[in-house]
Every structure is written in C-alpha cells, then in structure tokens.
Structure 1
Amino acid sequence: MAEAPRVDTAQLMELLSVSLGAYYGDFTLAAASENLTASQGKALIVLRRGPIAMRALAGIMACDASNVTGIIDRLEKRGLVRREASASDRRVTNLVITVEGEQVTDAIRAKMHTTRDGLNRLSAQDQDRLYALLERVFVSRLAARPE
C-alpha cells in the first residue's frame, strides 16, 4: 500500500494563515463586544500571562512603543490595567492587568464561539497534541518577554 503524500510547508503555512484569520476575526468581534479594539484586547491577553515592561509589550505586539502608550492609556482609563515602576529598575514601567481586566479577557474568550466550537470538536488527546505542536512551533515567541 502506498504511503499518503506528505503535507509540505507551504500547505501548512496556508492552513495556518486561514486558521489565524478565522481566529483573528473571532477575537476582533469578541473584543468589540467589550468595547475594545483588537489591539487593546491583544494587550490584555498578553498581560494576563503576567506583568510586562512597556517596551516588551511593544515587541510582542510588533508595534512602536508610542502605539502601546496610547493603547495602555485607554485601558488604564477604563481600569483594566495599571502601570507600576519596576522593582529592579525604576526607569522601567511594568504593566499589570487588574481584576477588571482579567474579567474582560475571560469575557472575550467566552465569546469566541467559532474558535471554541472548533477546538471543542477535538478530543482531549488531540487538544493536548495540538497544544504541544503549537508550543514547539512558537516556543521562542511564547517565551520571549524581554524587559
């Protein structure tokens, strides 16, 4: 019996592009339902993993630090994040998500029905496998949290 043809990198990249497009659309609608832009929602999701320096957030979000300042100003005004001076370097401003910000990220994730429904179609074993694979592909990006 002949072995099935292997999927090539270009095909994987195309499927990943379609998948991320669907995820981003789902995320954008969910963030908008909480009166947030996609960028504001993304900042909250990043901050949910723990405090981070403004400069590091700009790097993760792949945008200029001045853009992050505007995003954080609006989130801070709503009481979703706060700024704190770094204990190790007073010149560094760390961003911390508030309890209200955590509640908003929970609400966003709960409203991402397309993504949630798709993932729920996977068995627990397949979800574990997908997590492990994505972690291997993007581990350097997940771990990168420079000061």
Structure 2
Amino acid sequence: MSRSVPSPDPLTVEVVELIATVVARYHEEYEAVAAQHSLTGAQARLLALLSRESLPMRKIAERLKCEPSNVTGIVDRLESRGLVERHPAADDRRVKLAAVTEAGRETAQLLRAELDFAREPLAALSHEERTALRDLLRRMVGDSPESD
C-alpha cells in the first residue's frame, strides 16, 4: 500500500533551495580558505571547534558527525603541524583532550577572518533584518535565543 506524501508549498520549496545554495557556497569557500593554509575542510572545522574549548576525541566526533577513527587522523595531522596538542583530562586522566595551541588559535582566527561569503550580502541588510534572520535561523535549528 503506497502512502501519499503531501507536497510542500512552493514557498517552502524555494526557502529550502535557497538554504541549500547558501550551505553549498559556504562549504566551497570554507574548503578554498582552508586549502590556502594547507588544511582540509575537516581540519579547519576541527581547529574552529577547538578554538572555543578543549574536547575529548569522542565529543569531537559527535560534533563533526564523523567516526572517532577519522578524528584521530585529523588530530594527528594537526598535532604534527603544531596546531593541536593532546593532554589528559583533569577529572579523568584516561580521557585525552584535544586542544589548540597558540599557533592553532591564530590559524583558526585567520580562517574566520578570510571567510568572506555572506559578509557583503549581510552588510546590505539592516541591523533589524540581520537580527530577525538570526532569530529565525536559531528557531530553525532549535537554539534558544540569547540576549544580545
């Protein structure tokens, strides 16, 4: 027995397609900027993640949505370049945390600064429009609004 799936309205289809375009363009630029620093996109994302906080390998895999064995390889390569280091967690020395080094933090900041995608289009929006867009995106991803 086939189940009938209701088709989304045209506005929803257009919004989904626009979001997909934004995501694709962002990933293209992210990969290009990472390559300028001899990094893969995954390595750049890991640096960005660790620039906010040190994390155990398992948590990194969850956040990057990849296998822990992949994270080990990424961390190994970043560690060999002096951008990341491992150290035991204070509360459980069996758990190894990955943390950015000062060079890794600087590289993560450079990567963020070099990502131009959406800056110019967003600059064309008023502060109120950017705030509304941010709040709508937060609702879409299930984040509660923070006071800004």
**What TM-score results when the alignment is normalised by the length of structure 1?**
0.82
**What are the superposed Cα offsets for residues 2-32 of structure 1, whole Å, 9 maximum, x if unpaired?**
xxx9832x33222111100000111111111
Residue 16 (str. 1) matches residue 36 (str. 2):
no
Structure 1 runs not aligned, ≥5 long: 141-147
Partner of 1:36, secondary structure, is coil
Q: Greater RCO between the two (CA within 8 Å, min separation 6)?
A: 1
In structure 2, do the counterparts of structure 1 residues 139 and 77 end up closer, same or farther at CA, with 3 Å as the change threshold?
Answer: farther
Mapping 1:65-104, distance limit 5 Å: 65-104=68-107
Partner of 1:96, secondary structure, is strand
**What are the superposed Cα offsets for residues 14-60 of structure 1, whole Å, 9 maximum, x if unpaired?**
21111000001111111111110001001111112211111111111
Work out the CA distance in 2 between the residues paired with 1:48 and 1:126: 29
CA contact (8 A) 1:53 1:95 kept: yes
User: Alignment length, in residue pairs?
Assistant: 135
Q: RMSD over aligned Cα, in angstroms? A: 1.9
Aligned residue type for 1:66: S
- Which segment is superposed worse, 42-51 or 19-28? 42-51
Rg larger in structure: 2
Q: Which residue of 2 aligns with 1:64?
A: 67
In structure 2, do the counterparts of structure 1 residues 119 and 97 end up closer, same or farther at CA, with 3 Å as the change threshold?
Answer: farther
Partner of 2:93, secondary structure, is coil
Aligned residue type for 2:38: N
Residue 53 (str. 1) matches residue 52 (str. 2):
no
Structure 2 runs not aligned, ≥5 long: 1-8, 144-148
- Which segment is superposed worse, 47-56 or 125-134? 125-134
Q: In the alignment, which of 5, 11, 27 is matched to residue 7 of structure 1?
A: 11
Work out the CA distance in 1 between the residues paired with 2:130 and 2:83: 30
In structure 2, do the counterparts of structure 1 residues 136 and 117 end up closer, same or farther at CA, with 3 Å as the change threshold?
Answer: same
- Which segment is superposed worse, 21-30 or 102-111? 102-111
